[in-house]
Structures are given as structure tokens and as C-alpha cells.
């Protein structure tokens, strides 16, 4: 998606450790007009899928997923990062390794909000090694929900997450795929 690539070139900051900062339009300040264009792109891509729910993970997925939810006309559920798991059988729980914080944390989704009748579009801001997305996939599997597709804003194609999900047969729509980035020059190369 050209608009998103241009924005990354203009306002993205390449950090060491394979981190791209996009705080000025995605991860802190949110450019809602850009989010709307991104949602349109996903809506076009997944037009023939019977999506009735969007699932994302807090915090940065929520903004883009909410705008997509409005366009698709479906509810948006976000997986919550949890300090203390209440193992009373009312939630699905999975463990996720955080790329940006380097920690493992538990995430939960209430059994009330996802189930076998759901046809889910998974959305997140970034794809790196695929840990966050694999956690959401696991939740859908526990719930017996059907995964119709995955929408990612920025995939770092030099990391393994995206390609391994494609190999597993998921319909993955990444709006910008970064194939290389250099923290010394700030250069970002797209696929
Ligand atoms: P993964 O689980 O695929 O390894 O990493 C994806 C998650 O880590 C996303 O939810 C995103 O919040 C965070 N993340 C991964 N790489 C980056 C990055 O380069 N920049 C930012 N801002 N977040 C990232």
C-alpha cells in the first residue's frame, strides 16, 4: 500500500535491534484517516470472506482494528494482557513472547466473545517473528472459531513470522512489507 509505505519513509524511525518506530502515526499518535485507508485495503482483500468478528491484541492493534471493525460492520475483540490469570474456565489463555519488551506474558480472551460460530479476521500493527499472531491463532483454535485471514499493517519481511504463516496456508494481507532497514542511514527498503 503506497500511502503507508510513503508514510513509513517520511515519518518512520529505524532503531537498532530491528525495531521500526512509527509513533507519530500508528503506535502513539494515530492518523485515523490513514487507518481508514488501511481498513479499506483489508476490506477489498477479504471481500469474499464471511468475516463476522475481528480479533486483535492490546494495545497497538486496537486502534486499527476498531476502524476496520466499523468498515466491516463487525464487533472487535482485543486479547488482554493479564497479570494474574483467573483460571476459572471463563477465559481462553495463551502465552506470548513480546518482541519489543523481550518478556513472555499471558493474554486472555473471554469465552463469551469468541466461539465456534465466529469467522475471524486477525489484525495487528506489526508482524516480526509471529509470536503475537500465533497466540491469537491459538485462542481461535481453542474457541473452535474459523480464521478467515490475517491483516497486518507493517510486516518486517526479514523476520520469519509472515512467511511461516503463509507457508501454513493463512491468507495474510500485509499492507507494507519491509525487506531491509538500516539504523545507521535510516533507509527502509520495501518488498
Ligand atoms: P511478533 O510477535 O510478530 O514477533 O511481533 C509483533 C508484535 O511486536 C506486534 O504486536 C508489535 O506490537 C510488536 N513489534 C514487533 N516489531 C516491532 C517494530 O519494529 N516496531 C514496533 N513499534 N512494534 C513492533
Centre of ligand 1 to C-alpha 19, Å, is 8
pTM over 0.85: yes
Which pLDDT belongs to residue 127?
98
DSSP-based three-state secondary structure for 187: coil
| Index of the ligand 1 atom closest to the CA of residue 20 | 19
Ligand 1 within 6 A of CB of 155 = no
Q: How would you class 119 by CB atoms within 10 Å of its CB: exposed for 0-12, middle for 13-18, buried for 19 or more?
A: middle
Q: Strand 13-15 vs strand 19-21: parallel, antiparallel, or unpaired?
A: antiparallel
**pLDDT band at residue 84 under the 50/70/90 scheme:** low
Centre of ligand 1 to C-alpha 101, Å, is 9
If one compares 105 and 188, the residue with the highest pLDDT of the two is 188
**pLDDT band at residue 134 under the 50/70/90 scheme:** very high
Amino acid at each position: 500500500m503506497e500511502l503507508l509505505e510513503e508514510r513509513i519513509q517520511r515519518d518512520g524511525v529505524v532503531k537498532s535491534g530491528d525495531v521500526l518506530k512509527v509513533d507519530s502515526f500508528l503506535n502513539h499518535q494515530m492518523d485515523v484517516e490513514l487507518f481508514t485507508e488501511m481498513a479499506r485495503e483489508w476490506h477489498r482483500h477479504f471481500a469474499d470472506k464471511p468475516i463476522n468478528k475481528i480479533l486483535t491484541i492490546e494495545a497497538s492493534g486496537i486502534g486499527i482494528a476498531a476502524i476496520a471493525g466499523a468498515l466491516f460492520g463487525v464487533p472487535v475483540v482485543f486479547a488482554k494482557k493479564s497479570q494474574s490469570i483467573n483460571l476459572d474456565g471463563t477465559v481462553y489463555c495463551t502465552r506470548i513472547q513480546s518482541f519489543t519488551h523481550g518478556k513472555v506474558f499471558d493474554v486472555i480472551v473471554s469465552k463469551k466473545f469468541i466461539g465456534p460460530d465466529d469467522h475471524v479476521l486477525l489484525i495487528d500493527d506489526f508482524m516480526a517473528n509471529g509470536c503475537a499472531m500465533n497466540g491469537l491463532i491459538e485462542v481461535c483454535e481453542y474457541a473452535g472459531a474459523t480464521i478467515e485471514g490475517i491483516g497486518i499493517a507493517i510486516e518486517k519481511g526479514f523476520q520469519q513470522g509472515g512467511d511461516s504463516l503463509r507457508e501454513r496456508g493463512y491468507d495474510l494481507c500485509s499492507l507494507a512489507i519491509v525487506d531491509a532497514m538500516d539504523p545507521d542511514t535510516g533507509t527502509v527498503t520495501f518488498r
